[in-house]
Structure 1
Amino acid sequence: MERLRIAVAGASGLIGSALVRSLAADGHQVVRLVRRAARGASEVCWDPERQYVDTAGLAGCDAVVNLAGAGVGDHRWTDAYKKKLRDSRVLGTAALAEAVAALPEPPRVFVSGSAIGYYGETGDRAVDEQAPPGDGFLSSLCVEWEEAAAAAQEADVRTVFVRTGLVVARGGGAWGRLFPLFKAGLGGRMGDGRQYWSFISLHDEVAAIRHLIDAEHLSGPFNLTAPRPLTNREITAAMGRVLHRPTPFPAPAGALRLMLGEMAGDVLGSARVLPTRLLESGFRFAFPGIEDSLRAALRA
């Protein structure tokens, strides 16, 4: 197996840290982008909000993976926090894309983060990568996020956008909050529970990113979601079965809107997103179902 030199922005996050572990375990050289002075050849200094990247540190990289961005669910969406969400993604992506394009020998591939929020509210309608962007803050954010990679594309660097769904993992994201609630017997559906949640196991998320790094003919957007999205009601029932806990406490839509503000739309909204291009590329999911994904997360 060819050993690669791969730079990762967002290496301390849920997905980034799992990706780094996976790459390092297979003998690849991982270069982390850090927001302080670099400590050796395995780190590169950058500041996404200031759009600064120590470009020299990326020299010799076969791939650059950008997974950096402030957490969507970490705070209420005040105007100030929405600006932080945007700047951490759009400015950081633009800085990395420009750094990649400026290298005398650019990497083979630039993998840039995105999200299924691109599609907005889809209701019961299934969508794949051919669907246009939706409406609302997350949709417009994702459009800008992807457009920010233009410099890499214009430099003929193969550019891949990973539109990630809800990652099933204990260590963070939506399930990092759901597991403790459900284990305590306090879990339940959200709103009427009929909204679709497009999930993916952390294992498959990392495997898909690595697949897209390696597949030299693949570029453009890819939905990183399991093949069969489920409703929140179905996922709630699966959580109860896997954890052997009752799920008696639904969270009313009104209460969620009061507690979460504008972000409640992301929880109550329906996104039925299919990974059409990923499946067509030959990728095979290790954990395609929700119960398998939940058990894999609990074993990790």
Structure 2
Amino acid sequence: MNILFTGGTGLIGQAFINKFRTEHSFTVVSRNTAKAAEILGNDLSYAASIAEINDIGVFDAVINLAGEPIADKRWTDTQKKVICDSRWDTTSQLASKITSSNNPPKVFISGSAIGYYGDQGDFIVDEDTPPKQEFTHELCSKWENIAETASSENTRLVLLRTGVVLSPNGGALDKMAMPFKLGVGGTLGTGEQYLAWIHIDDMVDAIAYLLHSESSSGAFNLTAPNPVTNKVFSKQLANSLNRPCLFNVPSFVMKIAMGESSEMILKGQRVIPKKLSEAGYTFTFPTVDKALKNIYSK
């Protein structure tokens, strides 16, 4: 396939492109094309903006993973706007290009997140679960609604409601593992909140599966089938690193340190990939112990 890719220099984008660079051809949209080429290589094509794409119809597929990292900074009003605009604006530009094309791409895969559902406690969440109204839902709901404007009988739309991606090459796991590596790791808050996670290999393979599965459309939870509590995850992470899991960071400390964004960690979501499993995808890493063992054996 000839694929237009946004967010190609991110954790998921790099992993996907590196795995399939000999199978597909890629054009990566990046404001800094020179830096993108340093990261991804000179064998790809690059565009500094979506506006540079004269005819999006030359692409078989569009994969849209662009967006400001959601948990790197405190959620000030300014940062919330940056988080939203980075997703909404890019998706809007792509959707506009697709809808105005006489021969649009056959598939549009666009990012979202399990934050779409809001705080659900320990309730098991699938794609049909009604969301709770809060910032992460507002962010993801509008993001998805914009992408849906590109859906048509000519363009199949897939929305990726992604959980916490576990990877040996950075991302959230690096931050979660650091206290354990220093010997001061432990549970966060009550420890009873759920973590919906996915191994980077399954993330990449699931995107590829949905890319080729012509009967698959709509929103899919990209999470492993076995979410775990923070307490269980912390113990498994400690075991994988051969470190103790002795401490607990109280909720109020997390709130002081992170502000409103701490809610993503302190509340959690018990999300399962119902539609992905029903579509026939088989997980390589269905359990967190297997995922972490793979990551830390590398």
Give ranges in structure 1 of 5+ residues lacking alignment.
47-51
Amino acid at match of 1:11: G
Of the structure 1 ranges 102-111 and 203-212, higher mean CA displacement relative to structure 2 is found in 102-111
CA offsets, 1:104-160, max 9 Å, x none? Answer: 321110000000001111111101001122221001100011011133114741000
Query: 2:172 aligned with 1:174, yes or no?
Result: yes
Out of 272, 282, 285, which is 2:283 matched to?
A: 285
CA offsets, 1:46-93, max 9 Å, x none? Answer: 1xxxxx532326342111000000001110000000000000011111
TM (norm. structure 2) is 0.93
The count of corresponding residues between Structure 1 and Structure 2 is: 291
- Per the alignment, residue 5 of structure 2 pairs with 8
- Per the alignment, residue 226 of structure 2 pairs with 228
Deviation at 1:217, TM superposition (A): 1.0
Aligned ranges for residues 131-210 of structure 1 at < 5 Å?
131-154=129-152, 156-210=154-208
Amino acid at match of 2:69: G
Out of 35, 41, 46, which is 1:43 matched to?
A: 46
Deviation at 1:97, TM superposition (A): 1.2
Query: How far apart, in 2, do the equivalents of 1:182 and 1:260 lie?
Result: 19
Query: How far apart, in 2, do the equivalents of 1:238 and 1:91 lie?
Result: 39
Task: State whether residues 202 and 297 of structure 1, in contact with CA within 8 Å, keep that contact through their aligned partners in structure 2.
Answer: no
Q: RMSD of the alignment, in Å?
A: 1.7
Task: State whether residues 11 and 17 of structure 1, in contact with CA within 8 Å, keep that contact through their aligned partners in structure 2.
Answer: yes
Query: How far apart, in 2, do the equivalents of 1:36 and 1:229 lie?
Result: 37
Aligned ranges for residues 7-26 of structure 1 at < 5 Å?
7-24=4-21, 26=22
Give ranges in structure 2 of 5+ residues lacking alignment.
none
- Per the alignment, residue 31 of structure 1 pairs with 27
Task: State whether residues 170 and 179 of structure 1, in contact with CA within 8 Å, keep that contact through their aligned partners in structure 2.
Answer: no
Q: Secondary structure at the match of 2:144?
A: helix
Cα distance change of structure 1 residues 110 and 141 upon mapping to structure 2, 3 Å threshold:
same
TM (norm. structure 1) is 0.92
Query: How far apart, in 1, do the equivalents of 2:72 and 2:291 lie?
Result: 23
Amino acid at match of 2:9: S
Deviation at 1:103, TM superposition (A): 2.4
Of the structure 1 ranges 114-123 and 130-139, higher mean CA displacement relative to structure 2 is found in 130-139
- Per the alignment, residue 121 of structure 1 pairs with 119
Task: State whether residues 67 and 112 of structure 1, in contact with CA within 8 Å, keep that contact through their aligned partners in structure 2.
Answer: yes
Query: How far apart, in 1, do the equivalents of 2:145 and 2:66 lie?
Result: 16
Query: How far apart, in 2, do the equivalents of 1:45 and 1:103 lie?
Result: 20
Task: State whether residues 106 and 154 of structure 2, in contact with CA within 8 Å, keep that contact through their aligned partners in structure 1.
Answer: no
Task: State whether residues 101 and 157 of structure 1, in contact with CA within 8 Å, keep that contact through their aligned partners in structure 2.
Answer: no
- Per the alignment, residue 100 of structure 2 pairs with 102
Query: How far apart, in 2, do the equivalents of 1:150 and 1:203 lie?
Result: 27
Amino acid at match of 1:45: A
Query: How far apart, in 1, do the equivalents of 2:240 and 2:232 lie?
Result: 12
Query: How far apart, in 1, do the equivalents of 2:56 and 2:82 lie?
Result: 25
Query: How far apart, in 2, do the equivalents of 1:151 and 1:262 lie?
Result: 31
Cα distance change of structure 1 residues 102 and 45 upon mapping to structure 2, 3 Å threshold:
farther
- Per the alignment, residue 49 of structure 1 pairs with none
Query: How far apart, in 2, do the equivalents of 1:155 and 1:56 lie?
Result: 22
Query: 2:252 aligned with 1:254, yes or no?
Result: yes
